[in-house]
Amino acid sequence: MELRNLKTFQVAAKHLNFTKAAKELNFTQPTVTSQIQSLENELGKSLFFRIGKQTFLTSSGKIVQDYAEQIFHLIEEMDQALVQSEMNKGGKIIIAASETFCTHYFPYIIREFLNDYPKVNIRLVSCHSNEVIEGMESNLYDIGIISGQLDKGGISNIVLSEYEDLVLIASKELGSEENPETLLANYPFIKYEIDGPFDDSIQTFIKEANISTDNIIEFSSLEAVKSAVINNIGIGLISRNLVKKELQTGILFEIKLNHAPVNIQTSLIIAEEKLSFKKVRRLIEIIKSNWERIHSI
Protein backbone atom coordinates (compact mmCIF):
# COMPACT_ATOMS: atom_id res chain seq x y z
CA MET A 1 0.00 0.00 0.00
CA GLU A 2 1.39 3.38 -1.00
CA LEU A 3 1.25 5.96 1.76
CA ARG A 4 0.59 8.77 -0.73
CA ASN A 5 -2.68 7.10 -1.78
CA LEU A 6 -3.66 6.58 1.85
CA LYS A 7 -2.81 10.23 2.62
CA THR A 8 -4.97 11.41 -0.28
CA PHE A 9 -7.80 9.26 1.05
CA GLN A 10 -7.37 10.71 4.56
CA VAL A 11 -7.71 14.28 3.29
CA ALA A 12 -10.62 13.42 1.01
CA ALA A 13 -12.39 11.63 3.88
CA LYS A 14 -11.94 14.71 6.06
CA HIS A 15 -13.52 17.08 3.50
CA LEU A 16 -15.87 14.57 1.81
CA ASN A 17 -15.09 16.66 -1.24
CA PHE A 18 -12.48 15.73 -3.88
CA THR A 19 -12.11 19.32 -5.08
CA LYS A 20 -11.25 20.60 -1.59
CA ALA A 21 -8.93 17.64 -1.05
CA ALA A 22 -7.13 18.43 -4.31
CA LYS A 23 -6.68 22.06 -3.26
CA GLU A 24 -5.21 21.12 0.16
CA LEU A 25 -2.85 18.58 -1.38
CA ASN A 26 -1.96 20.84 -4.29
CA PHE A 27 -3.09 18.12 -6.72
CA THR A 28 -5.48 18.17 -9.61
CA GLN A 29 -8.89 16.64 -8.96
CA PRO A 30 -8.25 13.80 -11.48
CA THR A 31 -5.10 12.92 -9.52
CA VAL A 32 -7.10 12.67 -6.29
CA THR A 33 -9.71 10.50 -8.02
CA SER A 34 -7.02 8.27 -9.55
CA GLN A 35 -5.19 7.71 -6.26
CA ILE A 36 -8.37 6.88 -4.36
CA GLN A 37 -9.40 4.44 -7.11
CA SER A 38 -5.97 2.79 -6.86
CA LEU A 39 -6.46 2.40 -3.09
CA GLU A 40 -9.98 0.98 -3.56
CA ASN A 41 -8.66 -1.51 -6.15
CA GLU A 42 -5.88 -2.59 -3.79
CA LEU A 43 -8.27 -3.06 -0.86
CA GLY A 44 -11.06 -4.52 -2.97
CA LYS A 45 -13.51 -2.21 -1.23
CA SER A 46 -15.42 0.95 -2.16
CA LEU A 47 -14.56 3.80 0.19
CA PHE A 48 -16.98 6.54 -0.91
CA PHE A 49 -20.52 6.71 -2.24
CA ARG A 50 -22.67 9.58 -3.40
CA ILE A 51 -26.29 10.63 -2.75
CA GLY A 52 -27.12 13.45 -5.11
CA LYS A 53 -24.28 15.95 -4.85
CA GLN A 54 -23.15 14.79 -1.41
CA THR A 55 -20.29 12.37 -0.80
CA PHE A 56 -20.21 9.93 2.11
CA LEU A 57 -17.89 7.26 3.46
CA THR A 58 -18.89 3.64 3.10
CA SER A 59 -18.63 1.38 6.15
CA SER A 60 -15.27 0.19 4.77
CA GLY A 61 -14.28 3.81 4.23
CA LYS A 62 -14.94 4.60 7.91
CA ILE A 63 -12.73 1.70 9.00
CA VAL A 64 -9.91 2.81 6.66
CA GLN A 65 -10.29 6.41 7.89
CA ASP A 66 -9.86 5.33 11.55
CA TYR A 67 -6.69 3.39 10.77
CA ALA A 68 -5.34 6.08 8.44
CA GLU A 69 -5.63 8.62 11.27
CA GLN A 70 -3.68 6.29 13.59
CA ILE A 71 -1.04 5.58 10.95
CA PHE A 72 -0.35 9.22 10.15
CA HIS A 73 -0.41 10.17 13.80
CA LEU A 74 2.33 7.60 14.42
CA ILE A 75 4.29 8.89 11.42
CA GLU A 76 4.05 12.42 12.81
CA GLU A 77 5.29 11.19 16.21
CA MET A 78 8.16 9.39 14.51
CA ASP A 79 9.17 12.54 12.61
CA GLN A 80 9.08 14.60 15.79
CA ALA A 81 11.15 11.99 17.65
CA LEU A 82 13.79 12.01 14.90
CA VAL A 83 13.99 15.80 14.97
CA GLN A 84 14.17 15.82 18.76
CA SER A 85 16.89 13.18 18.71
CA GLU A 86 19.07 15.39 16.50
CA MET A 87 18.33 18.54 18.50
CA ASN A 88 18.62 16.92 21.92
CA LYS A 89 21.90 17.82 23.62
CA GLY A 90 21.52 15.10 26.20
CA GLY A 91 22.28 11.41 26.01
CA LYS A 92 25.44 9.41 26.57
CA ILE A 93 28.61 8.86 24.56
CA ILE A 94 30.81 5.90 25.50
CA ILE A 95 34.50 6.22 24.62
CA ALA A 96 36.93 3.31 24.89
CA ALA A 97 40.68 3.87 24.96
CA SER A 98 43.85 2.85 26.74
CA GLU A 99 44.52 4.13 30.23
CA THR A 100 47.13 6.54 28.86
CA PHE A 101 44.69 8.14 26.46
CA CYS A 102 41.92 8.29 29.08
CA THR A 103 44.24 9.91 31.62
CA HIS A 104 46.33 12.29 29.55
CA TYR A 105 44.16 13.27 26.57
CA PHE A 106 40.47 13.13 27.38
CA PRO A 107 40.25 15.48 30.40
CA TYR A 108 41.11 18.37 28.05
CA ILE A 109 38.90 17.08 25.24
CA ILE A 110 35.84 16.43 27.41
CA ARG A 111 36.09 19.83 29.07
CA GLU A 112 35.94 21.56 25.69
CA PHE A 113 33.15 19.31 24.43
CA LEU A 114 30.97 19.99 27.48
CA ASN A 115 31.12 23.71 26.71
CA ASP A 116 28.99 22.89 23.64
CA TYR A 117 26.98 19.97 25.05
CA PRO A 118 26.80 20.36 28.85
CA LYS A 119 23.99 17.82 29.23
CA VAL A 120 25.74 14.93 27.49
CA ASN A 121 26.99 12.16 29.76
CA ILE A 122 30.45 10.88 28.87
CA ARG A 123 31.66 7.44 29.93
CA LEU A 124 35.35 6.62 29.50
CA VAL A 125 36.23 2.91 29.39
CA SER A 126 39.90 2.06 29.90
CA CYS A 127 40.96 -1.05 27.96
CA HIS A 128 43.53 -2.38 25.50
CA SER A 129 43.31 -1.73 21.76
CA ASN A 130 42.17 -5.28 20.99
CA GLU A 131 39.38 -4.92 23.57
CA VAL A 132 38.44 -1.54 22.08
CA ILE A 133 38.13 -3.16 18.65
CA GLU A 134 36.03 -6.05 20.00
CA GLY A 135 33.74 -3.58 21.78
CA MET A 136 33.34 -1.44 18.67
CA GLU A 137 32.52 -4.48 16.55
CA SER A 138 29.89 -5.47 19.15
CA ASN A 139 28.48 -1.90 19.26
CA LEU A 140 29.30 -1.56 22.96
CA TYR A 141 31.19 1.71 22.48
CA ASP A 142 30.48 4.82 20.40
CA ILE A 143 34.07 5.93 19.84
CA GLY A 144 37.30 3.98 20.19
CA ILE A 145 40.95 5.06 20.24
CA ILE A 146 43.43 2.38 19.18
CA SER A 147 47.09 1.89 18.39
CA GLY A 148 47.37 1.09 14.69
CA GLN A 149 44.48 1.03 12.23
CA LEU A 150 41.27 -0.95 11.71
CA ASP A 151 40.01 -1.88 8.24
CA LYS A 152 36.48 -3.11 8.83
CA GLY A 153 33.28 -2.64 6.85
CA GLY A 154 30.88 -0.21 8.52
CA ILE A 155 33.60 1.34 10.70
CA SER A 156 35.48 4.54 9.85
CA ASN A 157 39.17 4.80 10.77
CA ILE A 158 40.41 8.35 11.38
CA VAL A 159 44.17 8.74 11.89
CA LEU A 160 44.92 11.03 14.84
CA SER A 161 48.69 10.69 14.92
CA GLU A 162 51.17 9.13 12.55
CA TYR A 163 53.28 8.00 15.44
CA GLU A 164 53.32 7.49 19.19
CA ASP A 165 56.95 7.77 20.26
CA LEU A 166 58.04 5.07 22.70
CA VAL A 167 61.11 5.34 24.90
CA LEU A 168 63.20 2.77 26.77
CA ILE A 169 63.62 3.92 30.39
CA ALA A 170 65.38 3.08 33.64
CA SER A 171 65.31 4.71 37.05
CA LYS A 172 67.80 7.49 37.79
CA GLU A 173 69.61 5.17 40.16
CA LEU A 174 70.02 2.27 37.70
CA GLY A 175 70.66 4.53 34.74
CA SER A 176 73.51 6.32 36.45
CA GLU A 177 75.21 3.16 37.70
CA GLU A 178 74.91 0.78 34.77
CA ASN A 179 75.67 1.02 31.05
CA PRO A 180 72.87 0.10 28.58
CA GLU A 181 74.28 -3.35 27.78
CA THR A 182 74.49 -4.29 31.46
CA LEU A 183 71.00 -3.00 32.14
CA LEU A 184 69.55 -5.00 29.24
CA ALA A 185 71.39 -8.13 30.31
CA ASN A 186 70.84 -8.05 34.07
CA TYR A 187 67.45 -6.48 34.74
CA PRO A 188 63.90 -7.57 33.89
CA PHE A 189 62.25 -6.01 30.89
CA ILE A 190 58.94 -4.48 32.00
CA LYS A 191 56.38 -4.27 29.23
CA TYR A 192 52.78 -3.26 28.66
CA GLU A 193 50.54 -6.31 28.30
CA ILE A 194 48.75 -5.69 25.02
CA ASP A 195 47.97 -7.31 21.66
CA GLY A 196 48.00 -5.82 18.18
CA PRO A 197 50.36 -3.30 16.53
CA PHE A 198 51.63 -1.98 19.87
CA ASP A 199 52.81 -5.42 20.95
CA ASP A 200 54.23 -6.17 17.49
CA SER A 201 56.46 -3.11 17.75
CA ILE A 202 57.52 -4.02 21.29
CA GLN A 203 58.48 -7.52 20.12
CA THR A 204 60.51 -6.02 17.26
CA PHE A 205 62.26 -3.74 19.75
CA ILE A 206 63.05 -6.68 22.06
CA LYS A 207 64.57 -8.61 19.16
CA GLU A 208 66.66 -5.71 17.81
CA ALA A 209 67.91 -4.73 21.28
CA ASN A 210 68.81 -8.35 22.12
CA ILE A 211 66.74 -8.20 25.30
CA SER A 212 66.45 -11.54 27.06
CA THR A 213 62.93 -12.95 26.82
CA ASP A 214 63.58 -15.13 29.88
CA ASN A 215 63.03 -12.24 32.25
CA ILE A 216 59.98 -10.22 31.21
CA ILE A 217 57.40 -8.70 33.54
CA GLU A 218 54.05 -7.64 32.07
CA PHE A 219 51.63 -5.08 33.49
CA SER A 220 48.15 -4.29 32.19
CA SER A 221 48.72 -0.59 32.92
CA LEU A 222 51.28 1.82 31.48
CA GLU A 223 51.20 3.68 34.80
CA ALA A 224 52.20 0.44 36.53
CA VAL A 225 55.09 0.05 34.07
CA LYS A 226 56.31 3.55 34.94
CA SER A 227 55.96 2.96 38.69
CA ALA A 228 57.87 -0.33 38.51
CA VAL A 229 60.75 1.33 36.65
CA ILE A 230 60.89 4.25 39.11
CA ASN A 231 61.13 1.70 41.92
CA ASN A 232 64.21 0.01 40.39
CA ILE A 233 62.44 -3.24 39.44
CA GLY A 234 63.73 -3.19 35.87
CA ILE A 235 63.74 -1.30 32.56
CA GLY A 236 60.62 -0.48 30.58
CA LEU A 237 59.35 0.63 27.20
CA ILE A 238 56.70 3.31 27.50
CA SER A 239 55.06 6.27 25.76
CA ARG A 240 57.40 9.26 25.88
CA ASN A 241 54.43 11.52 26.54
CA LEU A 242 53.70 9.60 29.74
CA VAL A 243 57.17 10.20 31.22
CA LYS A 244 58.08 13.65 29.87
CA LYS A 245 58.21 15.27 33.29
CA GLU A 246 60.16 12.42 34.88
CA LEU A 247 62.74 12.53 32.08
CA GLN A 248 63.07 16.30 32.35
CA THR A 249 63.49 16.23 36.13
CA GLY A 250 65.88 13.28 36.06
CA ILE A 251 63.64 10.85 37.93
CA LEU A 252 63.87 8.57 34.91
CA PHE A 253 66.76 7.93 32.54
CA GLU A 254 66.41 7.29 28.80
CA ILE A 255 68.35 4.35 27.45
CA LYS A 256 69.38 5.31 23.92
CA LEU A 257 70.14 2.55 21.47
CA ASN A 258 71.39 2.79 17.90
CA HIS A 259 68.38 1.52 16.02
CA ALA A 260 65.14 2.90 14.63
CA PRO A 261 62.73 4.39 17.19
CA VAL A 262 59.51 2.61 18.03
CA ASN A 263 56.59 4.49 16.51
CA ILE A 264 52.92 3.51 16.71
CA GLN A 265 50.09 5.08 14.71
CA THR A 266 47.04 6.20 16.70
CA SER A 267 43.52 6.05 15.21
CA LEU A 268 39.96 6.93 16.15
CA ILE A 269 37.39 4.34 15.09
CA ILE A 270 33.63 4.80 14.93
CA ALA A 271 30.65 3.06 13.34
CA GLU A 272 29.81 4.97 10.15
CA GLU A 273 26.13 5.12 11.16
CA LYS A 274 26.99 7.14 14.27
CA LEU A 275 28.62 9.87 12.19
CA SER A 276 25.09 11.12 11.47
CA PHE A 277 24.79 12.51 15.02
CA LYS A 278 25.77 16.15 15.33
CA LYS A 279 27.15 15.86 18.87
CA VAL A 280 29.32 12.88 17.91
CA ARG A 281 30.72 14.75 14.89
CA ARG A 282 31.52 17.70 17.15
CA LEU A 283 33.34 15.47 19.64
CA ILE A 284 35.42 13.99 16.82
CA GLU A 285 36.30 17.50 15.59
CA ILE A 286 37.52 18.41 19.09
CA ILE A 287 39.55 15.21 19.39
CA LYS A 288 41.20 15.74 15.98
CA SER A 289 41.98 19.42 16.53
CA ASN A 290 43.45 18.88 20.02
CA TRP A 291 45.24 15.54 19.78
CA GLU A 292 48.66 16.74 18.62
CA ARG A 293 48.52 19.78 20.91
CA ILE A 294 47.83 17.61 23.96
CA HIS A 295 50.52 15.17 22.85
CA SER A 296 53.09 17.95 22.92
CA ILE A 297 52.14 19.23 26.41
- Residue ranges per domain, the chain? 3-87, 92-162+265-295, 165-263
> Which CATH architecture describes the domain 165-263?
3-Layer(aba) Sandwich (3.40)
How confident is the model at residue 192, as a pLDDT? 79
User: Span 15-32, mean pLDDT?
Assistant: 92
- pLDDT of residue 152 exceeding 80, the answer is yes
Residue 109's pLDDT band, with cuts at 50, 70 and 90, is: very high
Residues 143, 122: Cα–Cα separation, whole Å: 11
Is there a common fold for 3-87 and 92-162+265-295? no
- Topology adopted by domain 92-162+265-295: D-Maltodextrin-Binding Protein; domain 2 (3.40.190)
Given this model, what pLDDT does residue 38 score? Answer: 93
185 within 8 A of 201, measured Cβ to Cβ: no
Higher pLDDT, 249 or 213: 249
3-class secondary-structure state, position 236: strand
Percent of the chain clearing pLDDT 70 (strictly above): 92
Residue 67 has a pLDDT of 93
Output 25 or 200, whichever has higher pLDDT: 25
Q: State mean pLDDT over 125-130.
A: 86
* E-only strand ranges, the chain: 48-51, 54-57, 92-97, 121-126, 143-147, 155-161, 165-171, 189-192, 216-219, 235-239, 252-254, 262-263, 266-271
Assigned CATH for 3-87: 1.10.10.10
pLDDT score for 196: 67
Task: State the average pLDDT over residues 10-28.
Answer: 92
Q: Residue 28's pLDDT band (boundaries 50, 70, 90)?
A: very high
pLDDT of res. 239: 78
C-alpha 251: how far from its chain's center? 37
Check if the beta carbon of residue 6 is closer than 8 Å to that of residue 32. Answer: no
What is the rounded distance in angstroms from the CA atom of residue 288 to the CA atom of residue 269? 12
Choice between 45 and 98, residue whose per-residue pLDDT is larger: 45
